[in-house]
Structures are given as structure tokens and as C-alpha cells.
């Protein structure tokens, strides 16, 4: 008799590393060279972790052999506290900081500590699909609030409020946003905080791309606007510091800490059950958060991330087949197929055609829990030469359907 997987997994999707990615691996084994744009993985595109972070790990390897405190080593947590204070977030101590094996683990722990079966969490659409998956895996129900392209992918506050009921426990905010690249303005963030205060919701701020903004976009830490709410901020080393493989993230409680005491205790219990997170990588945190922030040179005019993003914007504008809401943050572009392909080609069929016949791997837009099927996401990490090759192949792919 076959052994079936858990029924809970029926509500879990992660196509970023799903069937298309597996098919790309099969094609590579057959000798094809695939340009993979499905994952924001800086190290694969030549971005190095700052040398000072690597040295900090090496110099402390002897101290990294034992288990550490379940919340993380003190120097790392203290560095996060200092960053929060420098941003104007008051009242945070090392007791409110949790270090995890990337933000992914902390998302899972924070939802597990909060949710009872049937509880609901407001999650953006489009979203980073780990959030919806983690809600489902922890017995909750993800309710997706609209972030429409014609509104710059900003959250629809009235739609968000219409989804709130007595089972709603939290609201997730991804800013700067993955996959859309939207950076939320102060008014939008304040409106979300207002709803959280009115209905007693936990605010979960996914800010892993916090310093990766372009042109005149301003990143506003959500916790600075939520002193009276229970706010949980997530960030880490993976993106800004180009250290995905270190698997180091942090979650910080702020705001109404008295109301959060039992919740924090639940997180402590879960953190203890997994003993601790990866210790060597934690020794890079203090070095990362202090001193020069090398990401600034990459996202300003002339920087590699800026130039690659600009190449994507220009190629999308020149295409007869694509539309793009200019990404103002993060490392992605969420492209829309022109209306002429409606009824001929959806995002899944397009992604498969592009992979099999043009050897470019992208993530279909519906992978990000959208009700529409005409978008796809690419990472803007490759150099401009590679991105121009990609858009040449996309145009060649779509020409046959135009």
C-alpha cells in the first residue's frame, strides 16, 4: 500500500523550487545550459559576502562548536538591538530578539507559537509563498488581501479590512515586496498599523530587503509606526549581505511587549526545542550590521543591482509583449504578459515553453497566490548582458503566439 503524504500539504505550494525547477535540472543533466531566474540567490550571480563577515566567522570558529542560547549568541542579538534603536524603535532588548536558521525558520516558529487550528492570517496577494504555506502548515488559513498592479502593487486597505473577523490573528506585510518590488509609503503602512490596533492583530513585517531600494524610494521600518501594537520584524543576512548559505535571520518583537509576553514565551519554547540555530553564521551579524553598508554602492546609480534593474525596465518598456510596474525595491521584476496572449498562453504554459525551448527558467505569477495567470517573476541579479539575452529569448518565445 502506498504511503501518502500529509493532507496538510494539499494547501502548500512553493513552485519557485517546484516542478519547473526540477524539469530545469533534468534539462541540465541532458547537457542544456539553463539561465535560472527563479530564485533570488546572490551568490549564484557572482555577488560575494563581504570579506569582513567571512573573517568574523573564521576568527570565532572555536566558539561556534557548542550549542548557544536558543535565541542566539549575545553579540548577534545585541547588534540587532542597536540597529533597531538607530532606526528609532524603542524598548527592544536582547530578550526580544530571536536568531534563526534564516527568516524561513522564524516565520514557521512565529506562526506555530501564535495560531490555533482555524485561525486566520492576512497575507498579501501576490505574496512570497512561504508565508501562505507556513500558515497552512501551522493549522491556519491564509486570507489574501489585494495588492493590484494598477495601484502600484500597494495593499488595498479596504479589502484588507473586509477580510478581518473574530478568527483573524495577524497581518503580514512584505516591504520591500517580493515579488512585485513595491516599496510601501508611510500612509499605506500607517493605515495597516491602524487596522492592527483597531482589531488587535499582530503585525508581521517581513523586511528582508530593507536596504535594497532604488531612486527616490524610502524604506520605512514598520515597527517605527507601531509602538502600540505587537510588532514582529523579520530580517537577516541572506539578501542585503549576500549570505544566503549562512542561514542567519532574526525576528524582533517590539511595540506593546506586555501584551506579547505569552507569545514571546511560546517562541522561546519552540526555539529551545530545536536547541539553537546555526552558530558559525551568527558571528557575522555584528560585523554585518556595523560600519559600512556595502549594499548602498550596489543599489545607487552605477551600482550593479541598479544597472541590472534598469536593463530590465528598459527591455520591458521596449517590448510589444510585456508590461512592468517599475520595481522600487528588492531584486525582482514582476512582469505581465500583454493582453494579446489572453486565452492563448497563461503563466504556467509560458514558463514551460520558455524553459523547454529557450532554456530560461522563470517563476509563474500564480505561484505567488494571485487570482490571475498572466504574470511571471524574474530575479534582477544577473548582469545586463545576461538579462539582454533573456529578454531576446522571451521575445522569441512570445513572437510565435502574437
- Residue 183 predicted with pLDDT over 90: yes
Q: Which whole number is the average pLDDT over 208-227?
A: 97
pLDDT of residue 148: 97
Distance CA 75, CA 66 (A): 16
Find, among 285, 220, 296, 223, the residue nearest to 249 by Cα: 285
Q: How confident is the model over 381-395, as a mean pLDDT?
A: 97
322-351: per-residue pLDDT in tens? 999 999 999 999 999 999 999 889 999 999
Kind plus residue range of the DSSP H or E element containing 68: none
47-82 pLDDT, tens digit per residue, is 999 999 999 999 999 999 999 999 999 999 999 999
Instruction: Give 6 or 310, the one with higher predicted confidence.
Output: 310
Express as a percent the part of the chain with pLDDT over 70: 99
Q: Calculate mean pLDDT across residues 264-276.
A: 96
Structural domains of the chain ordered from first start:
7-48+297-399 (3.90.1150.10), 51-289 (3.40.640.10)
pLDDT of res. 257:
96
> For position 4, what pLDDT does the model report?
81
* Position with higher pLDDT, 395 vs 13: 395
The neighbour count for residue 343, using CB atoms within 10 Å, is 7
Over residues 282-320, the pLDDT tens digits come to 999 999 999 889 999 999 999 999 999 999 999 999 999
**Residues with Cβ within 8 Å of residue 195, at least 6 apart in sequence:** 157, 160, 161, 164, 171, 201
Phi, psi of 208 (to 5 degrees): -65, -20
DSSP structure string for 279-302: HHHHTTHHHHHSS--THHHHHSTT
| pLDDT tens for each residue of 292-301 | 899 999 999 9
Question: For residue 332, what are the β-bridge partners?
Answer: 379
Using an 8 Å Cβ cutoff, are 367 and 131 in contact? no
Q: CB neighbours (10 Å) of residue 296?
A: 11
Predicted pLDDT at 3? 84
* Stretch (H or E) spanning 233: strand 230-236
Instruction: Respond yes or no on whether the N-terminal peptide bond of residue 176 is cis (omega within 30° of 0).
Output: yes
The pLDDT value recorded for residue 19 is 86
Average pLDDT over residues 184-200: 98
Does the pLDDT of residue 15 top 80, yes or no? no
Confidence of residue 16 (pLDDT cuts 50, 70, 90): low
**Average pLDDT score over residue span 391-399:** 96
Q: Residue 227 — very low, low, confident or very high, per pLDDT cuts 50/70/90?
A: very high
Q: For residue 126, say if its preceding peptide bond is cis, omega within 30 degrees of 0.
A: yes
pLDDT digits (tens, 9 = 90+) for 84-137: 999 999 899 999 999 999 999 999 999 999 999 999 999 999 999 999 999 999
Amino acid at each position: 500500500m502506498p504511503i501518502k503524504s500529509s493532507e496538510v500539504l494539499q494547501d502548500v505550494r512553493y513552485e519557485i523550487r517546484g516542478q519547473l525547477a526540477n524539469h530545469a535540472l533534468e534539462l541540465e543533466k541532458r547537457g542544456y545550459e539553463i539561465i535560472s531566474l527563479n530564485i533570488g540567490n546572490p551568490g549564484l550571480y557572482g555577488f560575494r559576502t563581504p570579506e569582513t563577515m567571512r573573517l568574523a566567522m573564521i576568527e570565532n570558529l572555536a566558539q561556534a562548536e557548542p550549542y548557544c542560547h536558543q535565541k542566539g549568541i549575545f553579540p548577534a542579538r545585541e547588534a540587532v538591538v542597536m540597529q533597531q534603536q538607530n532606526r528609532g524603535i524603542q524598548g527592544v532588548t536582547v530578550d526580544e530578539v530571536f536568531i534563526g536558521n534564516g527568516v524561513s525558520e522564524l516565520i514557521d516558529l512565529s506562526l506555530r507559537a501564535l495560531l490555533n487550528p482555524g485561525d486566520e492570517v492576512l497575507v498579501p496577494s501576490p505574496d512570497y509563498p512561504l508565508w501562505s504555506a507556513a500558515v497552512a502548515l501551522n493549522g491556519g488559513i491564509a486570507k489574501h488581501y489585494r495588492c493590484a498592479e494598477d495601484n502600484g502593487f500597494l495593499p488595498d486597505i479596504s479589502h484588507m479590512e473586509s477580510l478581518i473577523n473574530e478568527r483573524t490573528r495577524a497581518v503580514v506585510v512584505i516591504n520591500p515586496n517580493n515579488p512585485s518590488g513595491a516599496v510601501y509609503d508611510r500612509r499605506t503602512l500607517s493605515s495597516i498599523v491602524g487596522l492592527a490596533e483597531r482589531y488587535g492583530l499582530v503585525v508581521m513585517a517581513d523586511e528582508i530587503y530593507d536596504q535594497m531600494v532604488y531612486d527616490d524610494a524610502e524604506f520605512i521600518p514598520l515597527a517605527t509606526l507601531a509602538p502600540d501594537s505587537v510588532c514582529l520584524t523579520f530580517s537577516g543576512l541572506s539578501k542585503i549581505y549576500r549570505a544566503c548559505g549562512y542561514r542567519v535571520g532574526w525576528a524582533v518583537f517590539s511595540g506593546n511587549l506586555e501584551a506579547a509576553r505569552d507569545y514571546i514565551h511560546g517562541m522561546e519554547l519552540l526555539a529551545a526545542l530545536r536547541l539553537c540555530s546555526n552558530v558559525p553564521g551568527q558571528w557575522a551579524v555584528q560585523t554585518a550590521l556595523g560600519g559600512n553598508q556595502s549594499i548602498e554602492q550596489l543599489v545607487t546609480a552605477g551600482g550593479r543591482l541598479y544597472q541590472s534593474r534598469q536593463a530590465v525596465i528598459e527591455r520591458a518598456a521596449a517590448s510589444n509583449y510585456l508590461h512592468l510596474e517599475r520595481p522600487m525595491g528588492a531584486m525582482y521584476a514582476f512582469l505581465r504578459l500583454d493582453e494579446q496572449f489572453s486565452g492563448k498562453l497563461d503563466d504556467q504554459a509560458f514558463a514551460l515553453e520558455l524553459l523547454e525551448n529557450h532554456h530560461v527558467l522563470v517563476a509563474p505569477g500564480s505561484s505567488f497566490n494571485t487570482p490571475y495567470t498572466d504574470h511571471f517573476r524574474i530575479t534582477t541579479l544577473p548582469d545586463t548582458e545576461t538579462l539582454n539575452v533573456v529578454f531576446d529569448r522571451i521575445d522569441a518565445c512570445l513572437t510565435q503566439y502574437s
